[in-house]
Amino acid sequence: MLYQRSSALFAEAQKYIPGGVNSPVRAFKAVGGDPIFVKKAKGAYLYDEDGNKLIDYIASWGPLILGHAHEPVINAVIEKAKQGTSFGMPTEIETQLAQLAVSMVPNIDKIRFVNSGTEACMSAVRLARGYTGKDKIIKFAGCYHGHSDSFLIQAGSGAVTFGSPNSPGVTQGTAKDTLLATYNDIESVRALVAANKGEIATVIIEPVAGNMGCIVPSDDFIKGLRELCTQEGILLLFDEVMTGFRLGKGGAQEALGIDADIVCFGKVIGGGLPVGAFAAKNEIMSHLAPEGPVYQAGTLSGNPLAMAAGLAMLTELNSKPEVFESLAKKTAYLHEGLDAVLKGKDVPYRINRFGSMISVHFTEEGVVDFASSAKGNNETFKKYFHGMLEHGVYLPPSAFESYFLNDDLSYADIDETVNALKKVNL
């Protein structure tokens, strides 16, 4: 495939945008080469500026569960835009979406809409601190919760890709209040809690990790985490920016059978538009301004376009729960196909999968945490990524990212993906 126009657009973008991109992983630094510039997308396919058609496995990093340019969502945005794009005032549709979200997700009474997953996680941590009166938080190495200062302490995804997990600009004062535990290792959490007795406000976690590849929590780990937080008066915060409304109507809480104290959501709650949210029981949410003392605000929060898109998306997911089973079956089918081909190639690999999230790791060991994920052979991954791209399959351009399937992907698309892998020289 030719990407001459994409390369030219990237060269031009670098003159005016840092690194030529507005989010680092898009720059292809982890895989080499120039990034692909997208012109449009429909269903399961991306169409780039050079006219290439690509089978998409990122779905805008998760939210496009029903595929690109899903007609009910697009129509809802168009009709709402005719009435105005932003008011900075309350609208009825905010309550309608809030009511629907609360009805779908277990263990929440109220929800606050914001403008991104980063903002949701940042605000949720502030709420947890304000509610508990404690300062410290525990996060897990390799989990990514956005680019707020508190979270850029050995973060995953883009930060790891660039080899700078502790970002310049994060102060020592901020860093000292963020404690790092090991994913899938409950003893590492117990040790931190014991060493910081009575000081920890919240434990924030990707309940199914997606930013060090797809990593599934063991039952003992996730159940132990819930029990420990309950015993110690620590709020368990699920970052469901990726998993919310993807792993089931009730997200990871439903899929894992674990109740979190606070839950964060991302773009899916706005049908793929810029939006986020955090939610909890009344007792916790009552501490949020204007009802309580914990301040959080945003002019674009509850933006009518995002609310309209989100209402259309969640209405369909709520009325068609079979979508989640369909997605899981397609992901299992992809897993089987990739596994069959990779067995015939002379490379070590592991495939992790949960629901409609999946990732391939080129390593001999099982991938259960950040350290084991980081052992993957990135040179092999580069060959894999570019080889698949050459045959019309767009995968995440980083070994530290989960794939996200959308339900417009057909079994024929998955067969084409598996056949593409047969042609790739690893």
Distance CA 175, CA 152 (A): 8
pLDDT for 363 beyond 90 = yes
373, 362 Cβ separation under 8 angstroms: no
- What is the model's pLDDT at position 1? 79
* Residue 176 pLDDT: 80
Domain 71-319 has CATH 3.40.640.10: yes
The C-alpha atoms of residue 172 and residue 307 are separated, in whole angstroms, by 38
Is the CB of residue 3 less than 8 Å from the CB of residue 34? yes
Mean pLDDT of the 98-104 span = 98
Using one digit for the tens of pLDDT, what is the confidence trace for 272-281? 999 999 999 9
- According to DSSP, the residues that pair with 138 across neighbouring strands are 179, 203
Mean of the pLDDT values across residues 174-184?
88
DSSP characters over 311-366? HHHHHHHHH-THHHHHHHHHHHHHHHHHHHHHTTSSS--EEEEETTEEEEE-SSS-
CA nearest neighbour of 330 among 404, 237, 231, 424: 404
* Spatial CB neighbours of 129, under 8 Å, sequence gap ≥ 6: 135, 137, 201, 202
Pairing label, strands 45-48, 38-42: antiparallel
pLDDT value of position 150: 78
Give the pLDDT of residue 158: 43
Are the beta carbons of 205 and 140 closer than 8 angstroms?
A: yes
Instruction: With H, G, I as helix, E, B as strand and everything else as coil, classify residue 285.
Output: helix
| Partners of residue 43 on adjacent β-strands | 68
What's the count of helices (H) and strands (E) in the chain, helices before strands?
15, 14
User: What is the C-alpha to C-alpha distance for residues 373 and 268, in angstroms, rounded to an integer?
Assistant: 26
Question: What strands, in cross-sheet order, belong to the sheet with 53-56?
Answer: 38-42, 45-48, 53-56, 393-394
Taking residues 84-95, what's their average pLDDT? 96
Residue range 25-34: average pLDDT?
Answer: 93
pLDDT of residue 206: 97
pLDDT of residue 154: 56
d(CA 418, CA 426): 14
From the list 318, 178, 190, the residue with the least C-alpha distance to 249 is 318
Contacts of 356 (CB under 8 A, 6+ apart): 65, 246, 247, 324, 327, 328, 330, 331, 404, 405
Closest CA to 124 of 199, 202, 197, 226: 202
What lies within 8 Å, CB to CB, of 101 at 6+ separation is 108, 111, 265, 269, 277, 279, 314
pLDDT value at position 166?
A: 60
User: At 162, is the pLDDT very low, low, confident or very high (cuts 50, 70, 90)?
Assistant: very low
151/418: higher pLDDT: 418
Q: Return the active site residues.
A: 144, 239, 267
Confidence of residue 147 (pLDDT cuts 50, 70, 90): confident
Q: Which amino acid is at 148?
A: S
CA angle, corner 123, sides to 121 and 126, nearest 5? 110
Sign of CA dihedral 190, 195, 201, 203: negative
Length of the chain: 426
**3-state SS assignment for residue 202:** strand
| Sequence-ordered list of residues with C-beta below 8 angstroms from that of 77, at least 6 positions apart, any chain | 271, 273, 305, 308, 309
Judge whether residue 164 has pLDDT over 90. Answer: no
pTM: 0.95
Alpha carbons 420 and 418: distance in angstroms, whole number: 5
Alpha-carbon torsion, ordered 107, 113, 117, 121, to 10 deg: -60
Cα–Cα nearest to 355, from 245, 278, 222: 245
Cα distances (Å, whole numbers) of residue 42 to 46, 203, 409: 7, 38, 11
pLDDT band at 155 (very low <50, low <70, confident <90, very high): very low
Q: Give the mean pLDDT of the chain.
A: 94
Q: Give the start-to-end residue ranges of the domains of the chain.
A: 71-319
DSSP 18: G
Question: DSSP class of residue 137?
Answer: E
Classify the C-alpha dihedral 338-343-348-351 as positive or negative: positive
Is 200 a residue whose pLDDT tops 80? yes
Residue 133 has pLDDT above 70, yes or no: yes
- pLDDT confidence of residue 160: 39
Token pair of 259 as six digits? 């109740």
Residue 127: pLDDT above 90?
yes
Q: What angle do CA 233, 239, 241 make, to 5 degrees?
A: 160
CB 192 within 8 A of CB 200: yes
For residues 110 and 276, give the distance between their C-alpha atoms in angstroms, rounded to a whole number: 14
pLDDT-derived band at 270 (thresholds 50, 70, 90) equals: confident
Whether the predicted pLDDT of 159 surpasses 60: no
